[in-house]
Amino acid sequence: MLVAIVAMRLTHSFGARRTMALLVTVSALTALAIGVVDIVRAQDRFGGYTVDQTAKRIADETGQPLDKVRADVQGVIDRGASIDLGIGIWLVVAGGVIGTIGGLLDLAWVGQRQLAAPNADIAAAD
């Protein structure tokens, strides 16, 4: 995103500027969406398939029966296992929000420059 912002300032083509501004906006929205989906689905990580995978791995390594290990894993989860999201995912969301705002401002900047260009040509002709 940073490279696109710098390149947008250096190029003189309105089409290229608009494309880069859209790239920044879409990239930021993608990061924001990934972060939000990850936060919303965080508790689902302890769901059925994950429990089965974890129990199978533990049973394979310890040699204990799969049913017993699965019951033990489910018991740990039922007793209040939790997920700590940490700061990283919140930084992704914040970066997505800031990047989206920046991308929208870049689109406005490109539009403003495009509107100002015909007026500059008229003023130069006078």
Q: Please provide the DSSP assignment of 18-87 as one string.
A: HHHHHHHHHHHHHHHHHHHHHHHTGGGGGSHHHHHHHHHHHHHHH---HHHHHHHHHHHHHTT-----HH
User: How many domains, the chain?
Assistant: 1
Query: Can you tell me the distance from the alpha carbon of 70 to that of 55, in angstroms, rounded to the nearest whole number?
Result: 5
pLDDT exceeds 50 at position 95: yes
Domain limits for position 112:
2-125
What pTM, to 2 d.p., does this model score? 0.66
Structure tokens at 83: 């997920």
Quick: pLDDT tens for 17-42: 899 999 999 999 999 999 999 988 87
Higher pLDDT, 51 or 15: 15
End-to-end Cα separation, the chain, in angstroms: 40
C-alpha dihedral sign at 107, 109, 112, 118: negative
pLDDT, tens only, 60-87: 999 999 999 988 888 887 777 667 788 9
